[in-house]
Amino acid sequence: MSRQAPTLEDVAREAGVSRATVSRVVNGVRNVDPAIQEVVRRAIERTGYAPNRAARSLVTRRAETVALVVSGVGDAPEEAQAAFAARVFADPFFGRVVAGIVGHLRPRSVHPVLMFAESAESRQEVLTYLRQGRADGALVVSSHADDPLPALLAEARLPAVLFARPSRPVPLSYVDLAHRDGGRLAAEHLLARGCRRLATVSGPLAVAASQERLAGFRDTLARHGQPYVPVAEGGFTLDSGMAAMADLLAQHPDLDGVFAANDLMAQGACQVLREHGRRVPEDVAVVGFDDSTVAVTCRPRLTTVRQPVEEMAADMARLLDEHIHGTRTAPTSVVFDPELVVRDSA
């Protein structure tokens, strides 16, 4: 005979409290004494009780899931959407976002559901999913400045938090980095090394973060008497960094310093410089951006501007939790400061 699954009554007897008290703890009701909460949690561990998620959802009126939406712009055909998803999974940035979100959600027994929104139809699917209560809110990572999804979420009054400030103001909370300050840190470091013939591999200029990083780099150089900075636009990928670096070398063979707007493109730049017989950093210094795993696996190891992605993603999940539970009603913003991490490439 199989042993019957532990019930709320079993936990209540083990903890020496009422069934109603156990129910309040299990359902996250906030007016339970912390000491009693701890007694109940220990009783749950000893009995092996597992809450019935469907029954709990009826009580809390929450799905205990959130939608992690990777969003873009336009009406991409199905093949392009598949390619977009493949690029997302290959990018270390997205893995860091997921790690930060899961790190916050897991202890709260909340789980993310990954959704892509690269077309009008898929954006509508996200809205329907949320309206039906199948997820309690959305964490949105947008890949394009003209992404219409944030405005659609705000108009529908659905709980949502954005990773990065939207290019068009919408009443939604967001977390972001002071990207312009990051570009400034890169420029100041290269100048301090004695670099004077500088160039940059920007990110896609349709992305606000790319524009800000480029602006910070250019502004700082202008303040030091360098009014012109050669720019080659990349796509935040290794291959695009290689192509951009090759273009810059062809047009400016005497350059001695490069700022790449993410680590993957900086790695691509280092590869091309090596292939052209340029030593890094002796001949050309290279600074990346993000401080991802690429920065320490690249050879030489990358000097880079650190973006604390995991902490930013965790804060994004925290803000969404506050909106869902009603402890925060007005939208807010949290802007993190970048930090220069000096290694071997510059």
Dist. CA 158–CA 127, nearest whole Å: 8
Q: Is the peptide bond before 300 cis (omega within 30 degrees of 0)?
A: yes
Q: What is the pLDDT of residue 3?
A: 54
Name the residue among 10, 112, 130 with its Cα closest to residue 68: 112
Measuring CA to CA, which residue among 139, 23, 124 is closest to residue 15?
23
Is the separation of the CB atoms in 139 and 69 below 8 Å? yes
pTM of the model: 0.77
Task: Provide the residue-wise pLDDT of the chain in tens; the chain has 346 residues.
Answer: 345 677 888 888 988 998 888 888 876 666 788 888 889 888 888 888 766 554 554 444 565 889 999 887 555 555 555 565 566 667 778 889 999 999 988 887 888 989 888 888 888 998 998 888 888 899 999 877 778 889 999 998 989 999 999 888 899 999 999 999 999 999 999 999 999 999 999 999 888 899 999 999 999 999 999 999 999 999 999 999 999 999 999 999 999 999 999 999 999 999 999 999 999 999 999 999 999 999 999 999 999 999 999 999 999 999 999 998 888 889 999 999 999 999 999 9
In the 8-state DSSP scheme, what is residue 311? Answer: H
The CB density around residue 296, as the number of other CB atoms within 10 Å, is: 13
Residue with tokens 């359902």: 27
pLDDT at residue 2, rounded to an integer: 44
Q: Are strands 333-336 and 303-306 parallel, antiparallel or unpaired?
A: unpaired
pLDDT for residue 193? 95
**Amino acid at site 275:** E
Q: What's at 332, amino acid-wise?
A: T
Rounded to 10 degrees, what is the CA torsion of 125, 127, 128, 134?
100
CB 12 within 8 A of CB 19: yes
- Taking the alpha carbons at both ends of the chain, their separation in whole angstroms is 68
Q: Rg of the chain over CA atoms, in angstroms? A: 24
**Three-state SS string across 219-261, please?**
HHHHHCCCCCCCEEECCCCHHHHHHHHHHHHHHCCCCCEEEEC
In angstroms, rounded to a whole number, what is the distance separating the alpha carbons of residues 64 and 73?
Answer: 28
The predicted pLDDT at position 62 comes to 60
Q: How high is the pLDDT of residue 1? A: 38
What does the pLDDT read at residue 88? 67
Name residue 117's beta-bridge partners: 71
**CA–CA dist 8, 14 (Å, integer):** 10
- Residue 58's pLDDT is 44
